[in-house]
Amino acid sequence: MNLSAIRHRSTGSDCYALDENTVVLQLWTAHDADAVTVFSEDPFIQAIDHRHAWKAVPAKMEVLYALEHHLVWSIELTPAFKRLQYYFVVESGDERVCVFENKVCPEAERDRISTEYFKFPWLNPSDVIAPPAWVRDTVWYQIMPDRFARSRHFADNGKFRAWGDFSSPGFNDLYGGSLQGITERLPYLRELGIGGIYLTPIFLSNSYHKYNTFDYYTIDPDFGTEADLKALVQTAHGMGIRVMLDAVFNHCGTEFFAWKDVCEKGRRSPYFDWFFINRDDFIKPDDFTVGDGRYFAFSFWTGMPKLNTNTPEVRRYFTDLCVHWVRSYDIDGIRFDVADEVSHTFLRQMNAAVKAVKPDIFLLGEIWFDAIGWLNGYEFDSVMNYPFTGCLSDFWRDGTLTAQDFMQRLHFSRSLYPRQINEVVFNFLDTHDTARARENCRSQNELLQKLAVLLCMAGTPCLYYGTEIAMRGKRTPYNRSTMPWDDIDAGKFSRFQSKVRALIAVRHACPDLRRDKMALRYDENHPRLVRVQKGDILLTVNATGADVPVTHGEILFQNGLRGGVLGKDGVLIEQVLS
């Protein structure tokens, strides 16, 4: 037996409370494991009948995920007295080993050295990770306000480029999209099936993207006013659409009041500790990047000095700001930019303050890797799921990967987090930080396949504005071009749009698609035919490069199906008997 592959920690996704009565355990083994049994009981159970020895109750575990090099075994237990003490027995052929916190050993040698059991100390209801329930049923839509829509009342003052003119675009070109423009296009989003909009930053800055914020309390006049934001949120709520703002607290812009004061006064400034300044001669106005360590900035850009969220005054300032946003605008979510670089101390303080005002607000972190350290229930409710995006990209890019490879990689991304996190993790194909999804597809049909996977998986899916019409754009700023509303209104994209709208409608109509459990139906004759079953819903994606005969039940969505044959780059969603 491959003992080095066996691992478990009584924390994170290996051991967590699913609800106030249920504890989930996971154990990782190599593929040579035939069976796993967990032995568990209350750690003090012997006190009831005054026994000297602790006696555990066995229960068989099941394989939850089959990964490339591991099996992940899982079980749900309901401890009667809210505590658990446990260990595992792993079987492989005639071999049996015990897995304790301090050792993995043959069963016959379990008592040779002291034994440390795993423990779940107490099931506190207030410690159960409980993201807002509404999030898992929401389909999001990411908007860059300057590039999404002008208002009907737009007045050109000469500072904006012509809408749609992306010939030789500059990095600071403005096009005149606004909050009013978004409000006027909400019926379009409601018809598409969108339940939440995520706005990139909208506060005062000298850039079109506003990630170098000057004033976090002032709506940028390029986008509108406080009244415009309040009207947008109120109108969206009236249509059943939630609103999430982008919070840039890792860094600020050079006109932020605290940075300006530090630049003027140096160490005499009361805001000196708001930043990471390492030398007194830190100001060199002509520099575009700062790579010599005189002060720290986001990605070395001088225009984005890094904020020190370890400083109590900084934490208090931005915590109060988040509370202000919630109270003043009634927003439903906050997405935190470069979330992995701000302090955990700040995030815990902010979470407590904001949840006290609006308990079901959604707190989302931009983290590009395994983020279990931020998903403990006291910081973020969810993170942007880049491992999921990479899984989809790799499968369609590399024609040697099979459906089994695809599922193993998808399962790995799900193995990172507890179930309740997987049901709200933020899934997407593209964002303002990536090439547009259409750029990585050979055809619109392939993009529909990826959208079908996105919308049939657990998590809260997000479309980047324009993905529903297969907009293109590989590099910044081309991936941030303006929405072609004249062509949209003229029906130029109606065929593709109708397919995306139908996919979203299927997701809304089928609760099983929004849950975490799924199974792969593997076809050895067609190794790149992906068939995923979720309840009585079967998703079939034909990435084989050839037509494939399929049998089907009640068709909920199809693209490329002719009779009983699913064409290459085709996708089918059907309701079948389990």
Residue tagged active-site, from 220, 366, 379, 516: 366
| Annotated active-site residue in 337, 381, 430, 468 | 337
Do 26 and 149 share a domain, yes or no? no
pLDDT band at residue 53 under the 50/70/90 scheme = confident
User: 125 φ, ψ to 5°?
Assistant: -55, -35
Average pLDDT over residues 34-44: 97
Q: The tokens of 443 are what?
A: 């055809």
492 vs 47: which has the higher pLDDT: 492
Same domain assignment for residues 210 and 325: yes
- Shared-domain flag, residues 157 and 299: no
- CA dist 400 and 393 (Å) reads 13
Judge if the upstream peptide bond of residue 477 is cis by omega within 30 degrees of 0: yes
> What is the predicted pLDDT for the residue at 577?
77
337 classed as catalytic: yes
The upper half-sphere exposure of residue 323, i.e. CA atoms within 13 Å in the direction of its Cβ, equals 15
Phi and psi at residue 97, to the nearest 5°: -125, 150
The predicted pLDDT at position 287 comes to: 80
Same domain, 235 and 152: yes
Query: 106, 81, 75: which is closest to 8 by C-alpha?
Result: 75
User: Residue 156's pLDDT is what?
Assistant: 85
At 336, which helix (H) or strand (E)? strand 333-336
Our answer to whether residue 366 is catalytic in this structure is yes
pLDDT averaged over every residue in the chain:
96
Q: 200 with 144: CB under 8 angstroms?
A: yes
Count the domains in the chain: 4
Q: Is 406 exposed, middle or buried (0-12, 13-18, 19+ CB in 10 A)?
A: buried
| Domain co-membership, 482 together with 535 | no
From 88, 109, 127, the end of a domain falls on 127
Looking at residue 32, which CATH number applies to its domain? 2.60.40.10
Residue 551 in this model has a pLDDT that exceeds 90 = no
Looking at residue 121, what is its pLDDT?
A: 96
Asked whether the predicted pLDDT for residue 233 surpasses 90, the reply is: yes
The CATH number linked to 208 is: 3.20.20.80
Average pLDDT over residues 190-210: 97
What are 16's two structure tokens?
Answer: 């967590």
Q: Indicate if the pLDDT at residue 578 is higher than 70.
A: no
What's the helix, strand, coil split of the chain in %, to 5? 30, 25, 45
Name, in order, each residue with C-beta under 8 angstroms of 498's C-beta and a sequence gap of 6 or more: none
Total H helices, total E strands in the chain: 14, 26
Q: Which of 261, 286, 308 is the last residue of a domain?
A: 308
Does 420 score more than 70 pLDDT? yes
Tell me which of 127, 160, 178 is where a domain ends.
127
Beta bridge partners of 537: 534, 575
496 and 398 part of one domain? yes
Do the beta carbons of residue 141 and residue 195 sit within 8 Å?
no
| Cα-based torsion angle of the residue sequence 61, 130, 139, 449 in order, rounded to the nearest 10 degrees | -20
Give the pLDDT of residue 111.
Answer: 82
d(CA 403, CA 410): 10
| Whether residue 358 is found in the same domain as residue 453 | yes
> Are 362 and 131 in contact, with CB atoms under 8 Å apart?
yes
User: What CATH number is attached to the domain comprising 563?
Assistant: 2.60.40.1180
466 φ, ψ to 5°? 95, -15
Tell me which residue range forms the domain holding 80. 3-127
Residues 453, 376, single domain; the answer is yes
Q: What is the pLDDT of residues 471-526, one digit of tens each?
A: 999 989 999 999 999 999 999 999 999 999 999 999 999 999 999 999 999 999 99
- Cα-based torsion angle of the residue sequence 515, 519, 523, 527 in order, rounded to the nearest 10 degrees: 70
Q: Given a cut of 90, is residue 115 above it in pLDDT?
A: no
CB 458 within 8 A of CB 423: yes
Q: How many alpha carbons lie under 13 Å from residue 338 in its C-beta half-sphere?
A: 17
DSSP, res 281 = T
pLDDT(571) > 90: yes
Q: Are both 370 and 233 inside the same structural domain?
A: yes
Residues 118 and 16 in one domain: yes
Residues 534 and 429 in one domain: no
Do residue 192 and residue 207 come from a single domain? Answer: yes
